[in-house]
Every structure is written in C-alpha cells, then in structure tokens.
Structure 1
Amino acid sequence: MSTGASRNRSMAGLVWGGKGIVQEEGGVFVLYLSVFFLLLAFFILLTSLSTFENRKFDAVLQGVQDAFGVTLTEGPATQAALARADERLGAVGRRLVAVMPDAVIDKGGKGGTLAVTMPVASLFAVATADGGGTVVTVLPGREGVWHQMADAVRPDEELGLEIELEFLVGDGGNPGASLPVFEAGAMARTLAAAGVVPRAMTVGVEKGTADTARFLFRARLPHPAPLAPRGEEPPRR
C-alpha cells in the first residue's frame, strides 16, 4: 500500500464550494475545545460582572418553594427568622426534657423544626366518671411548659415568622379507639387556656404506637416583600 493512499484514508474529507478540503483527524476535536473554552470564559466574565438584588432573589426563591414544596438556600430575612425559630424551639425542647425526662427530642437535622415524642402517661391522667364514662385530664404542674409553647408559636411580626404546633396521639393500630381522641381534646383545651392561638395549633390522632404522643413544631418562613415599581420604596412591614 502506498504512503499517499494511506495518508488519504487517515484524513477526513470535507467539501465546501465544490472543492475538496482535507482536514487531518483531530482537527474537529481541537476546534470543539477552542469553542468550549471561549464559551467558558464568556460565562465566567458574565458571572463576575453580575450582582444580586436581595429582594428579587428572595421573591424568586419563595416562588420556587411555594410551587414545589422545597427549601432552597435562604436569603438574609429567612436566615434571621430561622435563627429566631431555633432559639424559641430550643428553649421549648429543654423545658420539656427538664419536666419530662422520658421525652425524646428530634430536630430532624433541619432548622425551624422540633419533634418531641413521649409516653401519654407523662401527660395525662385517666379516670372513670361516676356514670361510667372515661375522664381524661392533663397532669398538673406543667403549666410553665404550656405557656412557653404559647410564647414560642406567637407570631413575630418584625421578622414575619410564624410557628405551627401540632399534637398527635398514636391510635395503637385501632382507628376506632376513643381514648386517644379524649387525650387529644384534653391537650387542645390545655394549650388554648395557656394562650396558644387556635390558628397556630392542630391536634389529632395518628396511626402509630399506642400510648405515645408527639409535639411537632414547624416554622413558616416569611414571604419576601413584594417588589416595588421602579423609583418607589418597597412597603414596610
């Protein structure tokens, strides 16, 4: 085989304007890399020249979170609200453990949340009424805990922070059991008497282990302030 024929087979032939243009193998790859690095340099330049506007960033962030139910990187306002929520919920958790040593705290690795699980025997006293019915009352001596929960879920208008409180009693695999319903009702009355606002509180019965109750706290992060038209100041809280 001649050297010329071998060289022709090792070259890629391109046609332009009716003329044959011969390009050696590897030339296309070099061209691709050149374009890639030019584009990379262009985007690096754009990034270095760009600036973030916190209000617009927070507005887009909140829109994504509302649409998809996910939490992304927080802006300054959200970080401040989370810090306040963690401060409040940390105090509640420490108070609960001090009063009820058998309570188990779980923050779930996420800011602005708190879960506390405990036996219902640490919360309620069950007695039989004269007429044969069941009477459930919350154990005395815990008033300080309930008042601290009320303080924790009180809205913070300055930061736009709200914390939701949920109390759930396990049904032990028996959805028709009446005792968990009585216990949930007794806790609802106790929390309301301590000052927990109704819109911040939910009580109920869940499918789960019998004789077990849970307090769940979740922070609702503030929505960013609406964007003001150009030349106008954004509305103040």
Structure 2
Amino acid sequence: MAGLMSGGRKIAQEEGGVFVLYLSVFFLLLAFFILLTSLSTFENRKFDAVVQAVQDAFGVTLTQGPAAQAALARADERLGAVGRRLVAVMPDAVIDQGGKGGTLAATMPTSSLFATTAAEGGGTIVTILPGREGVWHQMVEAVRPDEETGLEIDLEFLVGDGGNPGASLPVFQAGAMARTLAAAGVPLRAMTVGVEKGRADTVRFLFRARLPRAGLPAVPVTPAAETRP
C-alpha cells in the first residue's frame, strides 16, 4: 500500500510539473506577442479589413480605424442627401439612417412609386409615377464610386409579397423599378432588386457602403427575410 501511495504522489508531481511548464510557455508566448505589438505600426486600411472580417465571422462590433471612419462619413453625407430627396418627393417615406455608418433604409407604400392599370385582354400594367426623376439621379450620385476613398454604395430595392410568395404584382413592380434605375444610370453591379416576405403595400430601398480597395465587404444592415429575385 505504501508503494502505491508513493507511486501516486510521484504521478501527481509529474502532472504538476507539466502544468507548470505549460503555464511558463503560455506566459512566454504572451510576452512575445505583447512585445511585437508594442514595436508594430498599423496600416489603417489593412487594419480596417481585419476588423471587418472579424465582425462578419463572429458577429461582433469592433472599433473601426480612421480610414474606414472617414470613408463612412462620406457615405453618410451621400445617403443623407438621398434621404432628404426621398422625403421631399414622397413625404410618406420613412428614413432610417441610424445604427452602423454607411447605411440607409427607406420604407414607403407602393402607392408612392407605382401606378397600376389593367391591360387590354387581361393582365396588369405597372408603371413608375412621374416626377421622381430627381430621386433616381440622387441615387445614381450616391452609388457612384468615390475615387478618393474607394467608397462604393450598393442599392437594394425590395417589394413586399403580402404573404403570398406566388403573387405576380410584386414581381412586376420590382421589374419596373429595375428598369427605371438602370435607365437613370445606376450600375447593374451596384443594384439588387427583388421580392421579400412582408406587407403587400410596402417597398424598401436599402443602401450599404463598402470599401473594395481596402478589401472590406459591404456594411450589413438588417437582412430581408426570404428574398427572391
């Protein structure tokens, strides 16, 4: 029995030594990385790219570097102009430019944008109401790439399906808006048009800023549920 107890103490001593060795290596590595950090200089654009990648991967919010902050401030200026123009032409539009920088959401009833008439022989004709050309031109200006910062803004337009995924009217409305924005000069690569699960009489414009030169993906806003092209 004494031999077994002695052996047990020996094993415990060996395990304790391994643990102490592990802690020693850990603290040495920690000190090494602290030293590296203290001697390093950060490049803002690369730092911003890493920050955004971490946010997207883990769903956390980190402080953005000066380059991203300056670019998003310019995006907010552009999107603020879009919001003001939308409200001036369509007073029932609800503008939300809060939350993360470089985003804007505009919600409005379909009656603010579309006119619907019956076609001869059946069917429906959807047209965009006149007098909104200034709004489309403001959107074109907003999504134009910024040569100074590399800033780009993506535009998404969504029509509610009224809880009926097979409804054809929202598809016609989305198609009419896509043609209108393209004709006004919004680049196809910066535009997404679709139908989402939601109220039948509601449409949304969503804007997201991104920094392609820094390798940053689009700044996310609340995603639409079950969108379809």
* One-letter code aligned to 1:54: E
Distance 1:117 1:63, change over 3 A: closer
For the pair shown, the structure with the greater C-alpha radius of gyration is: 1
Per-residue deviation, residues 189-225 of structure 1 (Å, max 9, x unmatched): 0000000000100011100011100000011134538
Specify the alignment match of 2:176 in structure 1: 186
Q: How does 1:207-222 map to 2 (within 5 A)?
A: 207-222=197-212
CA–CA separation in structure 1 for the residues paired with 2:206 and 2:185: 17
- TM-score, reference length from structure 2: 0.72
Q: How does 1:102-117 map to 2 (within 5 A)?
A: 102-117=92-107
- TM-score, reference length from structure 1: 0.70
Specify the alignment match of 2:43 in structure 1: 54
What are the ranges of 5 or more consecutive residues in structure 2 without an aligned counterpart? Answer: 1-30, 216-229
Aligned-pair identity (%):
80
Q: CA deviation at 1:184?
A: 0.4
CA–CA separation in structure 2 for the residues paired with 1:181 and 1:49: 56
Instruction: Name the SS for the 1:127 alignment partner.
Output: strand
Q: CA deviation at 1:79?
A: 1.3
Displaced runs of 4 or more, over 6 A: 45-48
Distance 1:164 1:49, change over 3 A: closer
Tell me if the contact between 1:117 and 1:212 (Cα under 8 Å) persists in the aligned partners: yes
Distance 1:59 1:209, change over 3 A: closer
Specify the alignment match of 1:165 in structure 2: 155
RMSD: 2.6
Q: CA deviation at 1:54?
A: 2.6
* One-letter code aligned to 1:53: F
Q: How does 1:60-71 map to 2 (within 5 A)?
A: 60-65=50-55, 67-68=57-58, 70-71=60-61
Per-residue deviation, residues 152-173 of structure 1 (Å, max 9, x unmatched): 0111132111111000000111
Q: CA deviation at 1:49?
A: 5.6
Q: How many residues align?
A: 184
Q: How does 1:1-237 map to 2 (within 5 A)?
A: 52-55=41-44, 57-65=47-55, 67-68=57-58, 70-224=60-214
Which protein has the bigger strand share?
1
Which protein has the bigger helix share?
2
Specify the alignment match of 1:19 in structure 2: none
